[in-house]
Amino acid sequence: MLTAITRAFRTPDLRKKLLFTLGIIVLFRLGSVLPTPGVNSENVAKALEQAQAGESNNIYGMVQLFSGGALLRLSVFALGIMPYITASIILQLLVVVIPRLEALKKEGQAGTAKITQYTRYLTIGLAVLQSTAFVALARSGQLFPNSNLPVLLSNDVFPLVTMVITMTAGTAVIMWLGELITDRGIGNGMSVLIFAQVIAVFPAELINIYRLSPFKFAVVMITGIAMIAFVVFIEQAQRRVPVQYAKRMVGRRMYGGTSTYIPLKVNQAGIIPVIFASSLMYLPQLAVTMWGNSEKPNVVVEWLAQNLMQGDHPVYASVYFLLIIFFTYFYVSITFNPTEVADNMKKYGGFIPGIRPGRPTAEYLGFVLNRLTATGAPYLGFISLIPVVALGAVGASANFPFGGTSILIMVGVGLDTVKQIESQLQQRNYEGFLR
């Protein structure tokens, strides 16, 4: 990896792309610490210190993770990349449900551009809703439950509307920055920004654990490195289903006769099931926050508070693990269609050796995919649960980078970016067969 980056910096045009990407990331991080108009920065800093002193689970932990700590600062980029992620997931699900969107997806580049435009509109709508919710939490004092300091300079309507507009505009700017990286930089822009936000909290959390205990710091580092190596191994693992194309005459030319393969990854669903499950697990915490302080005790709310508020509780861990298993199978089933793949292979004269084309091929691909998912789904659940239990014992916060979601994001984006750098290096330095 380091060799590829070194060679990229020696190539003039790749060096410009890398420096452009780094410049966008720096600008992105500056927006994450720039306070929104109407925020009392001094009181926010004091409330943050109190919150870190009494670390607890909160209903916006996933958004806080994808904002790189900018959410609790109520900065311009407070919402981070989360509205775009949510909008993208919703559109992917709607493509399967709504025939019109499915038809657009099959139209190629024009249809994809249209779906991307719908994703932008939905992102802005979700940003308005989320920014309004967090401004309301800040106004009511529930954003920092352990602090009585007012974090807003004024509770009038106009300053609050200004904050909502500013945060929504910040989300639009983040989308624009991500598209700039995709067009003129290296890697997928949104993925690179997610990577930057996730690792932004890395140094502070490591320092906190080191101050707590150097021995625990060493244990956490060894455990983290081992987990990263394990995640890299599983993320790179794939089952290559061989495909043979028959020879056919088109005019006076012979086509086909080649051998290739269909790469089926062990973790075919990626990080999406973990995000789905985490989002649902925050709903009970939201219910407890909204109705837990009422005068009339509620049996359901009390049960939720006792069993689904702490990550290391057996009920919480079991429900979280089962949700990840369910969403893994669900997402794989809607993103990979064995019947469609089998029909395309049959259309172009392709077949799997030993398997008849058509329905038998679709059944075979479905069988292989189910076997792989039976391994990939528990893997996602294991990676997501073990850090919550193990790192909680050493005093790490819920947003610690060695958490399951953080590791999957860091490894996935890092591997994808390095592959893109290597592919561009091969395009520029390929010497051919003759020298």
What pLDDT score does 192 carry? 87
8 Å CB contact between 185 and 192: yes
Nearest residue to 169 via CA among 56, 269, 238, 78: 78
Alpha carbon 400 to its chain's center: 15
* Domains 1-200 and 201-402 equal at CATH topology level: yes
Superfamily assignment of 201-402 in CATH?
SecY subunit domain (1.10.3370.10)
- What is the residue extent of each domain of the chain? 1-200, 201-402
Q: CA 134, CA 79: separation in Å to the nearest integer?
A: 9
* Cβ neighbours, 10 Å, residue 193: 27
- Alpha-carbon dihedral sign for residues 24, 25, 26, 28: positive
Write the DSSP assignment of 70-87 as a string of letters: HHHHTBTTTTTTHHHHHH
Per-residue pLDDT of the chain (435 residues; tens, 9 = 90+): 667 777 777 888 888 888 999 999 999 988 888 888 888 878 777 777 766 554 444 445 555 666 666 677 788 888 888 888 888 888 887 887 888 888 888 787 888 888 889 999 999 999 998 888 888 878 877 777 666 777 788 888 888 899 999 999 999 999 999 989 988 888 888 888 888 887 877 777 778 778 877 887 888 788 788 888 888 898 889 899 898 887 766 666 766 667 888 889 998 888 788 877 877 777 777 666 666 555 565 677 777 777 776 666 778 888 888 989 998 998 888 888 898 888 888 887 888 888 888 889 999 999 999 999 999 999 988 888 776 665 555 555 444 556 667 788 788 888 888 888 888 887 766 544 444
Q: CA 377, CA 172: separation in Å to the nearest integer?
A: 34
What pLDDT score does 369 carry? 92
Give residue 135's identity as a one-letter amino acid code. V
Structure tokens at 36: 């929104």
**How big is the chain, counted in residues?**
435
pTM of the model: 0.77
Q: CA 270, CA 416: separation in Å to the nearest integer?
A: 12
* Helix, strand, coil percent content, the chain, rounded in steps of 5: 70, 5, 25
Name the H helices within 141-213. 157-184, 189-200, 202-212
Q: CA 196, CA 70: separation in Å to the nearest integer?
A: 12
The strand pairing partners of 35, in sequence order, are 75
Helix axes 404-429, 2-10, angle to 10 degrees: 40
Q: CA 53, CA 345: separation in Å to the nearest integer?
A: 59
SS3 string of 116-140? HHHHHHHHHHHHHHHHHHHHHHHHH
Structure tokens at 351: 């077949």
8 Å CB contact between 127 and 167: yes
Q: CA 72, CA 56: separation in Å to the nearest integer?
A: 14
8 Å CB contact between 187 and 416: yes
What pLDDT score does 282 carry? 72
8 Å CB contact between 396 and 205: yes
- Cα–Cα distance list, 317 to 118, 275, 331, 373 (Å): 36, 15, 21, 20
The CA-to-CA distance between both ends of the chain, in Å, stands at: 27
* Cβ neighbours, 10 Å, residue 431: 6
State in words which class domain 1-200 has: mainly alpha
What pLDDT score does 433 carry? 44
